[in-house]
Amino acid sequence: MQIDSVNSVRVAAAAAAAPVGYQPPANFKQLVTAIRALNKSELYGQDRQLQFARDPGTRMMVIRVVRPNTGEVIEQIPSEQVLRAFESLEQLDDKESKK
């Protein structure tokens, strides 16, 4: 997990959108430490890193394997198609509930 660069922007954005008094889960630091150790071990290869992030549209957690030099996403769970489909369904549900 590249905490310092990619996720620092997302963490700042999430913090701005988080309710006042929001506290990350107690095991958040353990997760960050484990991901840093995993990336340092190069288990995914020298040119790959594991990242966790929250999708801004759906607020779902996303797991990505990326090339840190280019930012290219090699693998993502759930996929962008699934995230956008979920987002569309939520918007449709919101429209139906307002009728």
Predicted model pTM: 0.61
What pLDDT shows up at residue 23? Answer: 65
Strand partners, 73: 66
CA–CA dist 6, 53 (Å, integer): 9
Sheet holding 73-77, edge to edge: 49-54, 61-66, 73-77
Domain ranges of the chain: 6-97
Please choose, from the candidates 52, 57, 63, 64, the residue with its C-alpha nearest in 3D space to the C-alpha of residue 25.
52
What pLDDT shows up at residue 27? Answer: 79
Contact 60, 76 (CB under 8 A): no
pLDDT by residue (tens digit) across 8-66? 444 444 444 445 666 666 777 888 888 888 888 887 778 899 998 889 888 899 999 99
